[in-house]
Amino acid sequence: MISIEEFRKHAHQMVDWMADYYHSIDKYPVKSNVNPGDILKKIPDKAPQEGEPMSEIFEDFKNIIMPGITHWQNPKWFAYFQANSSYPSVLAEMLTATLATQCMIWETSPAATELEEKMMVWLKDIMGLPEHFEGVIQDTASTATLCAFLSAREKTSNFKINKEGFSGKEKYRIYCSTETHSSIDKAIRIAGMGDKNLVKVEVDEKLAMKPENLENAILEDINSGKKPLCVVATIGSTGTMAIDPLSKIAEITQQYGIWLHVDAAYAGSALVLPEYRWMADGLEYADSYVFNPHKWLFTNFDLSAYYVKDKDVLIRTFSIMPEYLKTQVDQNVNNYRDWGIQLGRRFRALKLWFVLRNFGVVELKNRIKNHIDMVQELIIEIKNDPEFELMTENPLNMICFRFHPGSINDETTLNTMNEKILQKINATGETFLTHTRIGRTYVIRLVAGQTYLEKEHLQEVWQLIRKTCYDILKNE
Ligand SMILES: Cc1ncc(COP(=O)(O)O)c(C=O)c1O
């Protein structure tokens, strides 16, 4: 292993490399264009017996690993949802890696626990979340949703399933819309509820859950002896950024005494703007809520903010107290190992602290507003272009569209053509976009929210999209 002096030397070199990388990130193809197995072939089958020099390892990083990297921090990243980073966040991650502290309980790093507690208060405040919420950092929204289901299960069973397991008579039902993220389906399985007990409620023309269908499904279940356990409402669905009508859904969950979990993984960051808080009307009735600063709030993956109405239910669901983890201060502090699944926890709060302080709330608002505004301007341009079809109305920063020249009306041809267009755009390496389907219709999906994105980037990509569409049309 290298000495401390070599560590210093290489660390300086790597920081220079990091700054150069961000400076010239647009020189790399946004989406890696290697073939399956290309990287595998270049890595020896066995680990070396003797240590290798750091300089050689770093060269291999540049030559072998970098070609297989897809560059999420390129401003022309419009695929999936962003997993944003930012300079203050990267700096904090360097310190986190250096301290390499494991923050399972207060005593294993009091500053990590107390900073996490304070960051959850700051976030609640700047996002205008309900005052009574209490928060904890989870790794991902998938984990937070699983925590919600397990907590709902335990609360409803009076903490019996934790003790005795399922009796086989529970008949619990969970409801979400047909547009909900797949992490809900996965959490149902892990929580032992079974795919067949996930009820997918129909959506309206905006692809948002129909509350009347939710209520009918709940009543039907109650009448047939089943037990409605939890409803998941989404603010900003993954496919099309649909926004479920939260306040109407909350009325229903209140009326029938059902746990309400709200998944705002991506769009939750927009609540920093008071003018978008209508999306969260009714959130005060939620039992649990998750959004990901690691998506649109410029904070490195992984950092999910999970808020609950009643932290005692969460802690009772997860707390196990072996002798070796007991401390003198357990009654006076938060031990976050009891607030979720993992025992060992990374020091995640540090990067959020760096981001919130270095950006400041005003800059966070400006960037997010800027993303939304540039998308809304482009939406007007697309609406006025007879050869393009806008597939959803969206108030935030996603555009779902397809190329639809007047000469073509066959749906299968349009689907195939738009699929080809997307492949050709991504093969240029200039940008990266992904797709979804609305019903059977193939739709190109563009999400404009990368940390370093400027209006010119979006315009360049829009011109590339247009050119690609007409090139393909010419060759059809
Ligand atoms: C609406 C929604 N919920 C949940 C998730 C899962 O997020 P994570 O990767 O943090 O588990 C995503 C991911 O994109 C999402 O869009």
Assigned domain for 254 exists:
yes
Same domain, 227 and 323: yes
Average pLDDT over residues 181-194: 96
Q: What does the pLDDT read at residue 323?
A: 87
Same domain, 306 and 370: no
Assigned domain for 306 exists:
yes
Same domain, 264 and 194: yes
CA distance 349 to 476: 53
Assigned domain for 192 exists:
yes
Work out the percent of the chain whose per-residue pLDDT is above 70: 100
- Report the phi/psi class of residue 443: left, alpha or beta, with left for phi > 0 and alpha for psi in -120 to 50: beta
Same domain, 299 and 367: no
The residue from 282, 316, 346 where one domain ends is 346
Work out the percent of the chain whose per-residue pLDDT is above 90: 95
Count of domains for the chain = 2
CA distance 432 to 451: 15
On the question of pLDDT at 454 being above 80, the answer is yes
Assigned domain for 20 exists:
no
CA distance 432 to 21: 18
Average pLDDT over residues 400-421: 95
Q: What does the pLDDT read at residue 299?
A: 98
Average pLDDT over residues 82-87: 97
Alpha helices in 306-348 (DSSP H): 311-318
Q: What does the pLDDT read at residue 236?
A: 97
Same domain, 139 and 229: yes
Whether the CB of 399 sits within 6 Å of ligand 1:
no
Same domain, 262 and 359: no
Q: What does the pLDDT read at residue 321?
A: 84
Q: What does the pLDDT read at residue 322?
A: 84
284-317 pLDDT tens trace: 999 999 999 999 999 999 999 999 999 999 999 9
Same domain, 156 and 227: yes
Place 107 in a pLDDT band, splitting at 50, 70 and 90.
very high
Assigned domain for 392 exists:
yes
Give, for ligand 1, the residue of 142, 149, 232, 300 to mutate: max count of ligand atoms closer than 8 Å to Cβ: 142
Same domain, 341 and 375: no
Cα–ligand 1 centroid distance for 291 (angstroms) = 9
149-180 pLDDT tens trace: 999 999 999 999 999 999 988 899 999 999 99
CATH of the domain at 295: 3.40.640.10
Residue 157 domain boundaries: 102-346
Place 96 in a pLDDT band, splitting at 50, 70 and 90.
very high
Q: How many helices and strands in the chain, by DSSP H and E?
A: 15, 11
On the question of pLDDT at 476 being above 80, the answer is no
Q: What is the mean pLDDT of the chain?
A: 96
> 0.75 exceeded by the pTM?
yes
Cα–ligand 1 centroid distance for 191 (angstroms) = 18
Whether the CB of 263 sits within 6 Å of ligand 1:
yes
On the question of pLDDT at 414 being above 90, the answer is yes
Average pLDDT over residues 52-66: 97
Same domain, 202 and 228: yes
Q: Which distant-in-sequence residues (6+ apart) come within 8 Å of 225 by Cβ? A: 171
Cα–ligand 1 centroid distance for 183 (angstroms) = 7
On the question of pLDDT at 130 being above 80, the answer is yes
Same domain, 337 and 268: yes
Whether the CB of 81 sits within 6 Å of ligand 1:
yes
What residue owns the CA closest to ligand 1's atom 12?
Answer: 265
Preceding peptide of 302 cis, ω within 30°: yes
Same domain, 190 and 337: yes
Whether the CB of 181 sits within 6 Å of ligand 1:
yes
CA distance 77 to 245: 29
Whether the CB of 304 sits within 6 Å of ligand 1:
yes
Assigned domain for 233 exists:
yes
Place 188 in a pLDDT band, splitting at 50, 70 and 90.
very high
Using DSSP's 3-state secondary structure scheme, residue 314 falls into helix
Same domain, 304 and 214: yes
DSSP of 135-179: EEEES-HHHHHHHHHHHHHHHHTTTHHHHH---S---EEEEEETT
Average pLDDT over residues 413-420: 96
CATH of the domain at 419: 3.90.1150.10
Assigned domain for 79 exists:
no
Q: What does the pLDDT read at residue 340?
A: 96
The residue from 321, 346, 371 where one domain ends is 346
201's tokens: 């409620």
269 and 277 Cβ atoms separated by less than 8 Å: no
CA distance 157 to 414: 51
CA distance 313 to 425: 49
The residue from 322, 346, 370 where one domain ends is 346
Assigned domain for 458 exists:
yes
CA distance 373 to 378: 9
Place 406 in a pLDDT band, splitting at 50, 70 and 90.
confident
